Structure 1
């Protein structure tokens, strides 16, 4: 479905994405990374809006810059708000479907179907300038799916949606992937993607740090140095177990002695030993927070691993 071969995109002296290499079979993937990580640049490369400075991009085996007809197979929901205030959702979606070379009659049917799928049937003939942010977001998703593409690319699609809207869109996307269609879901919120797919691409600083299923990425993290916070009344009692252990780089206790920060060279060894210590001494530990509880910390850790800066 997608093939990136050592792809780099430069903006003058600024690196947008750096040496991306990945092959994705047809399926659903989450593109996860903080704001500014390179997600939107990668999407623009996939739709042929940007030309790579180095490397090659292929979507369904074709160069999206040379073969513009490939856009018939791609549906894009951009992060930006691109709606027209004096035009109805129905007219706008129908017009965009027509741009793919689909007949007027079929375009009307496809536009109505897409707007119904996203819950916009009742309001689709109103001017979009009267819509809430959530309604505009639903309309953007409708235009992305209306021409029934083989690959749906979503850039922060849940922006502006309330909890009900998010649940509705999650159901729509699950149904979409259940039909065997491709999906690339870009977000900086891990939980949004996890509700739809368990396959991830982690991007940070323009680099692809890891890709695979949630279990595969967890196995990578198990071998990646992390900082862990142990919180509870008996946190300080763990110090004697950790003080001379070779896979612990540093220890730090809070003033109240209820929070212990541990820098780990081998997190897997720590997680194997901790339950035994808690159980054998009946320790009261309320919470354990690893770096993967903080997305920025997770990416920083993987970036060091990627650069070979960790043991």
Structure 2
């Protein structure tokens, strides 16, 4: 286990930052997901020894965290805020942290150059940090967290503010680090990107862990909450009539049938209305059952569907569902 907490709590006056969290984090990449103000940063600061808990305990790499300098040497931390002097070059910034880590002069230079190469910043090492793009600044922050060769990284919102290319680069870099045996705890509110990165997910809201597990566990949560499924068909009314008899169907809504938006469909009163090309929205309480029987229903009734998608089939919808 790389992180263990038991009844961990932190409050600021009357504001609860972390609320009675008990969890275990295993090696690999773990995503800590939640909106701004959910408690992600407070939890990471407790795990890295920057905050003292008001209640409970936390261990990292099987050691108590608070006031433990030896553990600091084994852990890297990348904050969500800018921490570099703008006039320093990238190399000077990384060399400063290498010196703090206890390397001698020769080691400082070699280690700094090595980690700058790892984050693909070697070509910009002599430029002042003030001239860096947002993506370059994020990579420099990541480099300072790596310079002392930690076993475990804590990254607080490392994807914030990055353009698509910058995000892809950082995601690829993080995946490469795990190949070298480095475990990572990464926080974000960018759910679809973290979903592509993490092996394990923790959903946090108002200082509490709402759900945790692997991608497949979260997918099971997706299948347990209602879905709205959008289908494009040339016979929307007949498709509605075929689907409605099943108990898991909560509602059917027509969208732009013959150029007209229609209210929810309840059955026979609309049977006489002509069919027309359009979209249909089916809300089901059991999406797994709906998806399983849909192909057979289409074949039996000689219906065609040109497009099918669900905005609820992702982590974002699960999070909204869990927080109510």
TM-score normalised per structure 1:
0.87
Map 1:266-285; keep pairs closer than 5 Å.
266-281=286-301, 282-285=303-306
The corresponding residue for 1:66 is 67
Say if 2:225 is the partner of 1:225: yes
* Consecutive unaligned residues in structure 2, runs of 5 or more: 263-277
C-alpha separation in 2, matches of 1:252 and 1:294: 24
Q: Can you list the C-alpha shifts for 1:40-68, whole angstroms capped at 9, x where unaligned?
A: 22111111222233322111122221323
Greater Cα offset, 85-94 or 164-173? 164-173
Change (3 A) 1:148 1:294: closer
C-alpha separation in 2, matches of 1:276 and 1:290: 23
Q: Is the 8 A contact 1:73 1:151 kept in 2?
A: yes
The corresponding residue for 1:291 is 312
The corresponding residue for 1:179 is 180
The corresponding residue for 1:44 is 45
C-alpha separation in 1, matches of 2:77 and 2:190: 19
Give the SS at the match of 1:286. Answer: strand
The corresponding residue for 1:256 is 261
Q: From the CA coordinates, give the structure whose radius of gyration is larger.
A: 2
Greater Cα offset, 137-146 or 191-200? 191-200
Query: 1:289 Cα deviation (Å)?
Result: 0.8
C-alpha separation in 2, matches of 1:290 and 1:284: 17
Q: Is the 8 A contact 1:77 1:141 kept in 2?
A: yes
Map 1:1-311; keep pairs closer than 5 Å.
1-222=2-223, 224-233=224-233, 234-254=235-255, 256=261, 258-281=278-301, 282-293=303-314, 295=316, 297-303=317-323
C-alpha separation in 2, matches of 1:56 and 1:235: 57
Change (3 A) 1:245 1:9: farther
Q: Aligned-residue CA RMSD in angstroms?
A: 2.4
C-alpha separation in 2, matches of 1:261 and 1:51: 50
Q: Can you list the C-alpha shifts for 1:141-180, whole angstroms capped at 9, x where unaligned?
A: 1111111100011122123444443333233222210112
Q: Is the 8 A contact 1:118 1:168 kept in 2?
A: no
Greater Cα offset, 239-248 or 282-291? 239-248
* Consecutive unaligned residues in structure 1, runs of 5 or more: 305-311
Greater Cα offset, 62-71 or 191-200? 191-200
C-alpha separation in 2, matches of 1:110 and 1:176: 16
Query: 1:260 Cα deviation (Å)?
Result: 4.0
C-alpha separation in 2, matches of 1:170 and 1:147: 21
The corresponding residue for 1:307 is none
Q: Can you list the C-alpha shifts for 1:116-146, whole angstroms capped at 9, x where unaligned?
A: 1112112212221122222211111111111
Aligned residues: 302
Q: Is the 8 A contact 1:137 1:160 kept in 2?
A: no
C-alpha separation in 2, matches of 1:204 and 1:90: 38
Query: 1:18 Cα deviation (Å)?
Result: 2.5
Change (3 A) 1:300 1:165: closer
Change (3 A) 1:18 1:161: same
